[in-house]
Amino acid sequence: MEQFWFYVVLFSFILFVSVTFLLHKQRKRNNKNLPPSPLAFPIIGHLHILKEPLHRSLHHLSDQYGPILYLHFGSRPVLLITSPSAVEECFTKNDIIFANRPQLLVGKHMYNYTSLGASSYGSHWRNLRRLSTIELFSSTRLNIFSDLRPEEVRLLIKDLYRVLCEDFVKVELKSRFSDLSFNVIMRMISGKQYCKDEVGLKEAKQFQQITSEIFEVSGIPNLGDFFPSLSFVDWNGLEKRMKALHRKADVLLQRLINEHRNSHNYTSLAEEGEMKTMMDVLLSLQHREPDYYTDEIIKSFLLGLLIAGTDTSATTLEWAMSLLLNHPEVLRKVKAEVDDVLHGGERVHHDHDHDSSTHLLLIDEQQHLAKMKYLQCVINETLRLFPPAPLLVPHESSKDCTVGGYDVLGGTILIVNIWSIHRDPKLWDDPTSFKPERFINELATAAGGDETGEACRPPLLLPFGMGRRGCPAAGLANRVVGVALATLIQCFEWKRLGEKEVDLTEGPGLTAPKAKPLEAMCKACPTMINVLSKL
């Protein structure tokens, strides 16, 4: 009986606080020209309409009520946008206003909002952004690591070749793509190669499991995020799970920091300019500014890089291969382009003990990738249909502003559904079909594009966001996906498991990965066997 009355009193208190808060908000809204809003329930607002996958349920909502909507998720006001012009207005004219992040539970328990992705706009965020842009993802830095990415791709194709025989063999690709993207970012961060021994492989799997679970818990609605007055109640054990994830990540990251700190003299490194990895840079900065660059700040920064830099490339690779398998005519065109780019290029001469004929080299990122224009079209079309984040990471307005002629209150969460924009029939011809050719004109007429192809993307393609909080790792992702796809197509023949097309159903999570991990039939190209056998 006492427990019953406790819940009655608790519910009454929550109801009173919520109604008072909503009435206050309503008086403020009455004097504003707010965007259209569907009918909302008391207290919960529009939470009842949210279903998995979230980007699709919000897409149907925008189809029904318009491209700029005003919603309420509990007590949190939300601006939902599927209008390209409104997106541009948010991230150009109002870019500073929308540069904040909403303070959600996952950011609190992953180093208390100090990571690059979760921190609010300010001096701390600008410093982390500068570090990531200049020291890790700049064109100069990416070129320094240009040999690293092909090395990891060679390990991938070596692993595939090891399980093949003369005929087609079924291979699983999701885990291999995850290993590739993880190893690339970890070698850039720490220089550590995790494939060398059993201990390293175990630690790598722990890191990958943690980042995967962080993505998972980030996509689970948390009551405290929508009703701050209930933040002390861990209704579904989500907060407990986040704390456990933080402890696991903290142990691994601290071990990584200690390994580097004990094996390098960062005073001499800073003086001699020999800093080669992101860890070198961070620990040298810590030596100069120990009060700011604490271990906690470094671990927060590294975890953010791991989360942002691994899953995006792996997911894009899996979707790209799935689409190519479902469209063998496109796969043949990519294969022809790869052969054409390599034709007449540098050759590999074998030792006298082997066949004296010459064989093509493997794809070289700097020499070949920029010439593969159709491959870039395939990557762009993959990012259009299956962006690595169908909903951009939420922003939050720091003060009142206007978007599309509507008033937007300070403290409003901004959600941009780029999945809807990428499939809008008003913007794209036959938007649900896989047509890489739609990007050929953009690539042919683009001026000033670099080897990553980033400048060649049309303005309506926003897989990595835009504005000051756009993803700094877009160039890296484009290079990893490009060199991996080209090399896999160069070295192997591919086909589906059977006549049935590869299932393109999306699974749950922020990155909307494939619901069913990709499997395909694979066989080494006869012209590449001698090259593959020497890896």
Q: Residue 34 — left, alpha, or beta (φ > 0 → left; ψ -120 to 50 → alpha)?
A: beta
Q: In the prediction, which pLDDT does 352 show?
A: 35
Q: In the prediction, which pLDDT does 236 show?
A: 81
Provide the CATH number for the domain formed by 32-389+399-533 in this structure.
Answer: 1.10.630.10
- 192 in Cβ contact with 256 (< 8 Å): yes
- 520 in Cβ contact with 173 (< 8 Å): yes
CA distance 119 to 127: 11
The tokens of 158 are what?
């070596």
The tokens of 223 are what?
């009551």
Residues for the chain: how many in total?
535
The tokens of 110 are what?
């992953």
CA distance 149 to 531: 18
Q: In the prediction, which pLDDT does 339 show?
A: 93
Q: Tokens 């209704």 map to which residue?
A: 235
Q: In the prediction, which pLDDT does 322 show?
A: 98
Cis peptide before 53 (omega within 30 of 0): yes
The tokens of 44 are what?
């919960």
* Cα angle 325, 329, 330; round to 5: 70
CA distance 393 to 256: 28
- 230 in Cβ contact with 223 (< 8 Å): yes
DSSP 8-state code for residue 436: G
Nearest to 359 by CA among 380, 343, 336: 343
Q: Tokens 């069913």 map to which residue?
A: 516
103-106 contacts, C-beta under 8 A, 24 or more apart: 104/222, 104/225, 104/394, 105/222, 105/224, 105/225, 105/231, 105/238, 105/239, 105/242, 106/214, 106/217, 106/218, 106/222, 106/242
- Strands of 115-252, DSSP E: 169-172
Instruction: Report in angstroms the alpha-carbon separations of 505 from 250, 256, 352, 480, 527.
Output: 34, 37, 51, 24, 35
With H, G, I as helix, E, B as strand and everything else as coil, classify residue 359.
strand
Residue 184 exposure: Cα atoms within 13 Å on the Cβ side? 38
CA distance 72 to 529: 59
With H, G, I as helix, E, B as strand and everything else as coil, classify residue 387.
coil
Count CB atoms within 10 A of the CB of residue 88.
17
Element (DSSP H or E) covering residue 172: strand 169-172
Q: For each of the chain's 535 residues, which pLDDT tens digit applies?
A: 555 555 555 556 665 655 555 554 554 555 689 999 999 999 999 998 888 889 999 999 999 999 999 999 999 999 999 999 999 999 999 999 999 999 999 999 999 999 999 999 999 999 999 999 998 899 998 998 888 999 999 999 999 999 887 789 999 999 999 999 999 999 999 988 876 667 778 888 999 999 888 888 887 778 889 988 787 888 788 899 999 999 999 999 999 999 999 887 766 555 445 557 899 999 999 999 999 999 999 999 999 999 888 888 999 999 999 999 999 999 999 999 999 998 754 443 333 334 333 334 789 898 999 999 999 999 999 999 999 999 999 999 999 999 999 999 999 999 999 999 999 999 999 999 999 999 987 655 444 444 444 434 455 799 999 999 999 989 999 999 999 999 999 999 999 999 999 999 998 777 888 999 999 999 999 989 889 988 8
Q: Tokens 């309503």 map to which residue?
A: 26
The whole-model pTM stands at 0.88
CA distance 225 to 49: 17
Instruction: Report in angstroms the alpha-carbon separations of 203 from 151, 200, 253.
Output: 20, 5, 11
Instruction: Report in angstroms the alpha-carbon separations of 180 from 16, 321, 338.
Output: 53, 15, 21
Indicate the residue type of 530.
N
Q: In the prediction, which pLDDT does 29 show?
A: 53
Q: Which residues contact 448 (CB under 8 A, 6 or more apart)?
A: 455
CA distance 368 to 360: 12
Nearest to 120 by CA among 469, 460, 420, 371: 469
The tokens of 3 are what?
């427990």
Count CB atoms within 10 A of the CB of residue 517.
14
**How is the chain split into domains, by residue range?**
32-389+399-533
Indicate the residue type of 88.
E
Nearest to 434 by CA among 329, 317, 313: 329
